[in-house]
Structure 1
Amino acid sequence: MAKPKEKKKQDDQNPNQERQDKMDDDTQDTQHQEIDQEKSNKKKNKKKKHTVTIETVAENPNNISPIVGYFPSGYDPLKNNNKVVDEEVSTKLYRNVKRSNRLQLVVSPNGSQVDFVGTNYSGEATSAQLCTYSLGVLDKETQTLKIVPIAANKIIRLEPRVRGSEAPETEDPDTVKQDQLTAEERNDKMRDLTQMYSSKKSIRQARKLDSLRQQEDTGNQEEFDRNIAGAINKEALEVAITTDNARNIPPYDLAATTSQLAYPLDRIIFNGEWDYLLDVFELTKAGADMTLDLYPSFVCNRSYKLDHIQDEYEKKRLAGIFSFITHLVKFKDKHSMDGVSSAKHHKIPVILFQKFSSLFAVTDSKRLPDDKLNLLISYVLVLTLIADDFRSDPTDIAKDLRMNAVALRVHYEYLGCKFVKEKNVLLATLPVPLQFPTLRRKRRR
């Protein structure tokens, strides 16, 4: 009788055991599902790698670079992804007629009376530029990453304005005041800012530049006093009237007895500027070659002369002349449409860049006036004469200046040069005393 009871007891316990086994199986299935889900999520979250070709696009003066604007109000033109953005938002870019470097960006949402307006010459854009910006565009089909510069390195702040309720934007009073400053006041302000915020090296360069300007002004005043004192004879009076500015050529001496003194080198390259003209000398000392993409052909074709000079002072002097010619040619290219690409990466020392900008009167349009362009060409030709011991072949320098050799001959003659023929080659020479060509007037019939 005991055995049947025990069997019944075991049968009563079996359903509980089955339920427990089923629960264990469900738990294991759930755990497997969680593991599979984790694996699936890891596969989805795994970053896809791309092997791309990076292409850096240089800034083109003929085409405007991309402009980046942001909305501080929180407006998002891409909020409604189901619609075409071009139909929702109208974007327009305006350029100032008188000042082409001033831009205004206007974003107008369709069906709204609010415009978002930003400029690159007022507000936040006028703050100090501490870094540069570029925009990267990845083309997955061609596996190419293009990096393009942002226009003027400015990210424009787009402020909301109710259409028609405001008067046209007025310029920042500080900007207007800055435009009304004279050249002397602007130089004084820049000098104060340099002393307050610039590095020690920049401060030393600024002080040296001021010292050179004072020496130049003092020298001009002394020369003027000498001319006034010697104005009692007719010849000295003619010299006083025929000044450097009247001829629009480098400083000269009509009483010079040698070609070397006709155009004094110390009045073209000042004493403090030679320390910034050592690049050609250091290249020669290191045994490196000068390439045509970095130096004019005139300099490259005459670099062999430096190897034949034993005296270090004379070698530094000729190398400095070559370097000065290079900076002048590159400065001309920077301010001309046909040569801007060749001078894009050329670095002109600050002390020389400021001198060239003042001497050749660079305008807001960045183009050299015709008279100042002729003056720059005259400076280059005088230095090439000095480098060639006053017997110079104008073929390569004409190529560097992007001029016709026949047109360049007029500039030589204006400097008082004469041409001689040697072995079927025309050479420009500088006889003394200087004799400038006189203007010929047509007779009236």
Structure 2
Amino acid sequence: MAKPKEKKKKAEDQSPSKSDVGKNNDDDTRNSQHQEIDEAKSIKKMKKKKKQKHTVTMETIAENPNNISPIVGYFPSGYDPLKNNNSNGVDELSTKLYRNVKRNNRLQLVVSPNGSQVDFVGTNYSGEAASAQLCAYSLGVFDKGTRTLNIVPIAANKILRLEPRVRGSDGPETEDADTGKQELTAVERDEKLRGLTHMYSSKKSIRQAEKLDSLRRQEDTGNQEEFDRNIAGAINKDALEIAVTTDNARNTPPYDLAATTPQLAYPLERIISNGEWDYLLDVFKLMKAGAEMTPGVYPSFVCNRSYKLEHIQDEDEKKRLAGIFSFITHLVKFKDKHSMDGVSSAKHHKIPGILFQKFSSMFAIPDSKRLPEERKNLLINYVLVLTLFADDFRTDLSDIAKDLRMNAVALRPHYEYLGCKLVREKNVLLATLPVPLTFPDPRRKRRR
């Protein structure tokens, strides 16, 4: 009788209780929730994997002077040219572009809706377009097939405001008259720029502008005194021959025919003004810090002669030679900035503002990225005269010819034009400057 009771107990132990059933249900719900979370995470991972990175080529198209660039304009009046689009394919708008005959940089865009007496006119020289602009606009066109983003400059770098105007009114004539009144003379423009500099520029820029003005006034005073001396001695022909000439006579730096030493033949104070030496201390500071000159930053002529600064004991003489090296560097980099083959080497070179304005007025012309041949030769002559000062008037032509992107044969006529004599010592061609200064006679082409 005892054995059946034990079987019943075993059967009761094997059947789960209600509490056990509840626990199992909770575990199932938790497992299902974890499975749903895992499935959501896997779906997110699949979506991330589906996102692919696309490679896009960006191409910048330069402005072509023979073709007109895209023109961008907007209608401030709220007129929508695409609202009444003609389904028959007939153009609803007539767009015309006019260019000034005398001033080809002035453009006028006229948009004329068909069947209307109102024209929408926008210009790049009056109204909103005449205000100050501190950015450049470009138009981007993305080609999905080739995955190329073409960036094109827009015409006149202006977004034209298309104002409504009744056809036949005299608006354009009155507008041209107003724009003529807005044009300032050179003196008024300088005064206005000086006022804006004092109002909005930094203290450093204001000091540089004031120093530049004082240097200009000193130069004007010196030119007037020199002119008075020349007029006073006009009767004496000998005095006229030995007078200190200006750089306009022979496209050279200022020279003195009566000089008895090479140092006075081309006065250094007439090439580098007194106020400009304070902006030519970069080579001197670099030498003081014990750093080496890298050929990419400084011309090879300067790098090959930097050792001379270490052997000079006099501090003023050391600053003078370092300033000449710095001035040569800025001249060479200014030439590279305005040339096709050297613009990359001068891309990150910073020329002090006072020197950049001087170089721009002497060697460059407005609205041109290239130097005229005559002014480029003048810049080369300034560099060559300073190389004579740096080498005690016995200079090697090879390294400075490399810096000017010329060969030594092409550089020889420039030295001869300055009155130098070329001598060969130990298979090295040297340029010397004998005194008194004499210039070669101009060569005339023979007629055949």
1:250 aligned partner:
253
- Matched position secondary structure for 1:256: coil
Are the aligned partners of 2:396 and 2:429 in contact in 1 as well (CA < 8 Å)?
Answer: yes
Aligned-pair Cα RMSD in Å:
4.6
Match of 2:219 in 1: 216
Q: Deviations over 1:129-165 (max 9, x none)?
A: 2445555666666777676766665333233456666
Q: Distance in 2 between matches of 1:178 and 1:262?
A: 48
CA contact (8 A) 2:76 2:163 kept: yes
Pairwise CA distance, 1:407: 4.0
Shift of 1:235: 2.4
For 1:424, the aligned partner's letter is N
Q: Which of 356, 360, 376 is the aligned partner of 1:357? A: 360
Separation in 2 of the partners of 1:208 and 1:443?
A: 51
1:250 deviates by 1.0
**Secondary structure of residue in 1 paired with 2:243:** helix
In the TM superposition, residue 208 of structure 1 has moved relative to its aligned partner by: 0.7
Give the equivalent residue in structure 2 for 1:416: 419
Q: What SS does the corresponding residue of 2:424 show, helix, strand or coil?
A: strand
Candidates 121, 128, 149, aligned match of 1:124: 128
Identity fraction in percent = 79
Name the counterpart of 1:155.
Answer: 159
Displacement of 1:207 in angstroms is 1.2
The superposition leaves residues 58-91 of structure 1 with CA deviations (integer Å, 9 ceiling, x where unpaired) of 9668798765433323344565899899977776
Query: Which residue identity does 1:327 align to in structure 2?
Result: H
State how far apart, in whole Å, the 2-side matches of 1:58 and 1:319 are.
42
Q: Which runs of 5+ in 2 are unaligned?
A: 1-46
CA distance in 2 between partners of 1:352 and 1:85 (Å): 60
1:72 to 71, 76, 82: 76
Query: Is the contact made by 1:231 and 1:240 (CA closer than 8 Å) also made in structure 2?
Result: no
Within a 5 Å distance, the mapping from 1:83-232 to structure 2 comes to: 99=103, 101-105=105-109, 116-133=120-137, 154-161=158-165, 168=172, 173=177, 175-177=179-181, 179=183, 181=185, 183-228=186-231
User: Please, what TM-score do these two structures have when normalized by structure 2?
Assistant: 0.69
The CA distance in 2 between the partners of 1:437 and 1:283, in whole Å, is 40
Please state how far the C-alpha of 1:429 moved relative to its aligned partner: 1.6
Q: 5+ unaligned residues in a row in structure 1: which ranges?
A: 1-43
2:420–2:431 contact (8 Å) kept in structure 1: yes
Cα 1:96–1:397 shift into 2, 3 Å: farther
Shift of 1:328: 2.6
* 8 Å contact from structure 1 (residues 118, 156) kept in 2: yes
Q: Does the 8 Å contact 2:242/2:257 carry over to 1?
A: yes
Does the 8 A contact of 1:52 with 1:144 survive in 2? no
Deviations 1:18-63 (A, max 9, x none): xxxxxxxxxxxxxxxxxxxxxxxxxx9xxx7966668584966879
Greater C-alpha radius of gyration: 2
Give the aligned partner of residue 374 of structure 1: 377
Q: Is the CA contact (8 Å cut-off) linking 1:78 and 1:85 kept in structure 2?
A: no
- Residue in 1 that maps onto 2:271: 268
- The counterpart of 1:385, out of the listed 382, 385, 388, is 388
Q: Is the 8 A contact 1:325 1:383 kept in 2?
A: yes
CA distance in 2, matches of 1:304, 1:151: 52
Cα deviation, 1:259-312, whole Å, max 9, x if unaligned, reads 2222122211112112223344445537264353x5545445545555665655
Summarize the alignment of residues 274-293 of structure 1 with structure 2, pairs less than 5 Å apart: 274-284=277-287, 285=289, 287=291, 289-292=293-296
Give 2:76's aligned amino acid.
P
